[in-house]
Homo-oligomer: A and B are copies of this chain.
C-alpha cells in the first residue's frame, strides 16, 4: 500500500490493491509453470534454499511498520505460506520432471511466494479499514478474544465466490496461448482449459483453500491486537 503514515486507508484503495495482486499471482504462477517441478533445486542447493526461506519468512515482519500500528509487524504467516506453497500448491501446477534449471526455478518460486505473501498480508489493511468503519461491531469480540465471532464478521461468502470466479477467469485469459489467428473470445470457454499454462481451477482452489483463509487469519490476528 502506498498510504503514508498520516493518511486514512480507504477500502476502495485496499480492494484495488487486492485485485491487482490477483494479476501478479496469476502471472507468477504462469511463469513458474514454464519449468517442471525440479525438486532437486531445494535439496541440491539446500544452503541457499535455507537462507531464502529464512529471508522470506522474516521479510513481511518489517513491511507494514510504517503505515500501521507497531504491532502489525508481529502478524506474519509466511511460514504457513511457505509450507502451503511447496507441499500443496506446487504439485498442482507444475509438471513432474527435472530439467536442471535450478537457479531460475528458485527465482520463479520466490516470485510466487512474494506475490502470495503480499496479497495475504494485505489482510492487515483490510482489517484496519473494517475496524475503523465499525468499531462498535469489532470491539466486543476483540475484547472477548472471540476468534470465531471475528471470523464470522470477516466472512462474506458471496464476495469470496466472486473472487474465486475472477481469479479463475484471469488464469484462463492470461494463461492462454495468444496467436494472431485465434479470436480472443473463444478462449473464455472451459473447453480450452487444457491449453492454459496453469489450470484455471488451480487458481480458484488456491484462493478457496489457502489465500482467503490465510488472509482471514491475518485479519483476525491483527484485530486481536487492535485494542492493546
Using a Cβ–Cβ cut-off of 8 Å, how many residues does chain A contribute to the interface with B? 28
**Any B CB within 8 A of the CB of A222:** no
**Any B CB within 8 A of the CB of A205:** no
**Is there contact, CB below 8 Å, between A165 and B180?**
yes
**Any B CB within 8 A of the CB of A174:** yes
Instruction: Provide the residues of chain B in CB contact with A87, threshold 8 Å.
Output: none
**Any B CB within 8 A of the CB of A34:** yes
**Is there contact, CB below 8 Å, between A2 and B99?**
yes
Instruction: Provide the residues of chain B in CB contact with A27, threshold 8 Å.
Output: 27, 30-31, 174
Residues A180 and B169 in contact in the complex (CB < 8 Å), given A27-B31, A31-B24, A99-B2 = yes
Instruction: Provide the residues of chain B in CB contact with A30, threshold 8 Å.
Output: 23, 27
Given the complex of chains A and B, what is the CA–CA distance between A178 and B176 in angstroms? 14
Name the residue of chain B whose CB is nearest to the CB of A166.
Answer: B180
Given the complex of chains A and B, what is the CA–CA distance between A165 and B182 in angstroms? 13
Instruction: Provide the residues of chain B in CB contact with A188, threshold 8 Å.
Output: 183-185
Which residues from 22 to 72 on chain A have a C-beta closer than 8 Å to any C-beta of chain B? 23-24, 27, 30-31, 34
Given the complex of chains A and B, what is the CA–CA distance between A111 and B101 in angstroms? 17
Given the complex of chains A and B, what is the CA–CA distance between A170 and B185 in angstroms? 14
Instruction: Provide the residues of chain B in CB contact with A23, threshold 8 Å.
Output: 30, 178
**Is there contact, CB below 8 Å, between B180 and A184?**
no
**Any B CB within 8 A of the CB of A223:** no
Output the least CB separation between A12 and chain B (Å): 14
Instruction: Provide the residues of chain B in CB contact with A185, threshold 8 Å.
Output: 183-185, 188
Given the complex of chains A and B, what is the CA–CA distance between A34 and B24 in angstroms? 10
**Is there contact, CB below 8 Å, between B101 and A2?**
yes
Known A165-B180, A166-B178; 11 more pairs at CB < 8 Å: A2-B99, A2-B100, A24-B31, A27-B30, A27-B174, A166-B180, A173-B174, A173-B176, A184-B184, A184-B187, A185-B188
8 contacts between A and B (CB under 8 A): A23-B30, A23-B178, A27-B27, A27-B174, A173-B173, A173-B174, A174-B174, A185-B185
